[in-house]
Amino acid sequence: MDLLMVSGFFLALLVGVSLGLVGSGGSILTVPILVYILGFDAVTATGYSLFVVGGTALVGGIRNIWQGNVNFTIVLFFGLPSLITACFVRAWLIPAVPYTMFTMGSLIVTKPLVLMVLFAAVMVLAALKMIRSAPVLTGIGRVPGIKLITSGVGTGFMAGAVGAGGGFLIIPALVFLAGLPMKKAVGTSLFIIAIQSLAGFAGDAFGKALDWGFLLPFTGVAIVGIFIGIRVSREVNGEKLKAGFGYFVLFMGLYIIVKELFIR
């Protein structure tokens, strides 16, 4: 195993830690690791990311059920529409998009480039929302189901399009729209991420040859990390966690934009 592969597996541990700590960040780390460290193309990386993040989040989600940190009303109204949308996008929409989308002079705009820039742009918007806004604890009983469904569909679309579990979108939605405390939002987010990511992966993987010799060990290391993250999260203030996560997402989003558009 070469140095880059060792580095990639070490970073897989951080993928799990991020998911366990803040209920998100898995795809934010996984996609760049697969593309920039391990050399996968963006389309393959976004598909593999769905399995890694989904499998890891499933373990964390089950753990949070035992701790009473999963709101199943939100899972139903937010998670189910998200799952269906992610599967549809990954199975039918992404394959229909041509590799070379268009050209502008000497610039060739490809599907991988658009996926990575779209991924980063959504990261930046979500990060700014987390950093600038204070949570409005309205209570889940006052949130119209249609708002949760609509938000779930939007999150599922992004999850399927860019191979993200969508936690960087789910967490703000659960905190600001559904009014959940940060730590309960984390637990609910993990469960939603798990079902929508694995559904998206199933749609993406249909009829494809997959490198299970890489995917299973990489995911296993991430699962170890999620237990570390869950343990650490018990000692961290929820509001500090929200702000810190927002700055982390902002940094990663800006880095990807610069890397994809200006450092080719």
pLDDT in tens, 165-202: 567 677 777 877 777 887 788 788 888 888 878 887 88
pTM of the model: 0.73
Q: Where are the alpha helices (DSSP H) in the chain?
A: 3-22, 26-32, 42-66, 72-74, 80-88, 94-96, 111-132, 145-162, 167-172, 182-205, 212-233, 238-262
Q: Is 134 exposed, middle or buried (0-12, 13-18, 19+ CB in 10 A)?
A: exposed
pLDDT-derived band at 135 (thresholds 50, 70, 90) equals very low
Other Cβ atoms within 10 Å of 176 Cβ, number: 18
pLDDT-derived band at 136 (thresholds 50, 70, 90) equals very low
pLDDT above 90 covers what percent of the chain? 6
Q: What integer pLDDT is reported at residue 221 of this predicted model?
A: 94
Structure confidence by residue, pLDDT tens digits, 211-226: 899 999 999 999 998 8
CA distance 102 to 187: 41
Which of these, 237, 219, 131, 113, lies nearest to 181 by C-alpha position? 237
Beta-sheet pairing, 107-110 with 100-104: antiparallel
CA distance 218 to 224: 10
For residues 45-65, give the mean pLDDT: 87
Most confident range, picked from 47-51, 156-160, 206-210 = 47-51
Residue 138 has pLDDT above 50, yes or no: no
Q: Is 105 exposed, middle or buried (0-12, 13-18, 19+ CB in 10 A)?
A: exposed
Residue type, 54: G
Query: Are residues 25 and 66 in contact, defined by beta-carbon separation less than 8 angstroms?
Result: no
Most confident range, picked from 16-20, 119-123, 209-213 = 209-213
Question: What are residue 98's phi and psi, to 5 degrees?
Answer: -70, 155
* Bigger pLDDT: 53 vs 164: 53
Q: Is 108 helix (H, G, I), strand (E, B) or coil?
A: strand
Q: What integer pLDDT is reported at residue 218 of this predicted model?
A: 94
pLDDT-derived band at 139 (thresholds 50, 70, 90) equals very low
